[in-house]
Amino acid sequence: MDRRALLLGLTALTGCGFELRREPELPFKSLALTGFAADSPLALGLKRQVKRTPVQLLDDPARAQVVLEVLREYRDRTVVASTSVGQVREWQLRLQFDYLIRTASGELLVPKVELRLSRDLNFTETTALAKEQEAANLYGAMHSDAIAQVMRRLAAVKIQS
């Protein structure tokens, strides 16, 4: 009985257009990433994602069919709320990532994109160590979100043949 209900439920989901998100299919053969800092978590994540596709990742942007050029990658945190004695109660973590997508010859495929992500973090002095780990996890989630957005943007690139 439970098996029939499960199959009926799955059939209903597929009938309504529900589909699990798949890896984006990139419409080009080679990609170069430029402008990233050496220790950039976004660069590492993007390289990892691109390696899951048939696209070749090149170090030389002059040989690549498509170039993702980073204009700005910046992480920071600001105080959102504090107590009357100046103790921080809430932080806002921010990730700013500006990039453009072009060909090796400089033809602009996607104009400058300004990606802004933020997360709020409640804070107490007694749990400072745990909150630092939570902040690292929130930054990791923002990086994953940014990488997914960039991959979808790369998949939408139209290349003139």
Q: What is the 3-state secondary structure (H, E, C) of 93-131?
A: EEEEEEEEEECCCCCEEEEEEEEEEEEEEECCHHHHHHH
Question: Does 141 reside within a domain?
Answer: yes
Q: Could you give the number of structural domains in the chain?
A: 1
In this prediction, residue 109 carries a pLDDT of 95
Provide the pairing of β-strand 56-58 with 30-34: parallel
The whole domain housing 65 covers: 24-155
Question: Does 97 reside within a domain?
Answer: yes
On the question of pLDDT at 131 being above 90, the answer is no
On the question of pLDDT at 88 being above 70, the answer is yes
User: Residue 127: pLDDT band by 50, 70, 90 thresholds?
Assistant: confident
Question: Does 57 reside within a domain?
Answer: yes
Question: Does 14 reside within a domain?
Answer: no
Question: Does 2 reside within a domain?
Answer: no
Classify residue 93 as exposed, middle or buried by CB count within 10 Å of its CB (0-12, 13-18, 19+).
buried
Statement: the pTM of the whole predicted model exceeds 0.85: no
Q: What is the CATH number of the domain that holds 131?
A: 3.30.160.150
pLDDT in tens, 70-84: 999 999 999 888 888
Question: Does 4 reside within a domain?
Answer: no
Question: Does 129 reside within a domain?
Answer: yes
